[in-house]
Amino acid sequence: MSVDEATVRRVAKLARIAVSEDQLPGLAGEINGILGFVEQLGEVNVDGVEPMTSVTPMKMKMRDDVVTDGAKADDVVANAPATEDHYFLVPKVVE
């Protein structure tokens, strides 16, 4: 894939980035360099390589998936101007 100056101009407009005409060739070259590197990564053989969560071998910490109320209902509504039974009270906005 190759990016030309017209594409850089269009992307800059869509991103609402001010790019002058004399900057277009340099940006096109930089973007093409990045895309070339990404294409090289696509050529790497990763058959048999499992996805990693870290560059160092480690086991993910697991916990039981248990539903609780958080035991912090009083803390959650502590700064609310009006509450009732651990619920926020808000002014009526619909008649």
Percent of the chain at pLDDT exceeding 90: 57
Amino acid at 68: T
**Mean pLDDT lowest for which of 4-8, 9-13, 90-94?**
90-94
Tell me, what's the pLDDT at 33? 95
Q: How far is CA 25 from CA 2, 8, 28, 74, in A?
A: 13, 9, 5, 60
What pLDDT, on a 0 to 100 scale, did the predictor assign at position 36? 94
Give backbone dihedrals phi and psi of 83, rounded to 5 degrees, phi first.
-140, 160
Which pLDDT tens digit goes with each residue over 10-52?
Answer: 999 999 999 999 999 999 999 999 999 999 998 999 898 888 8
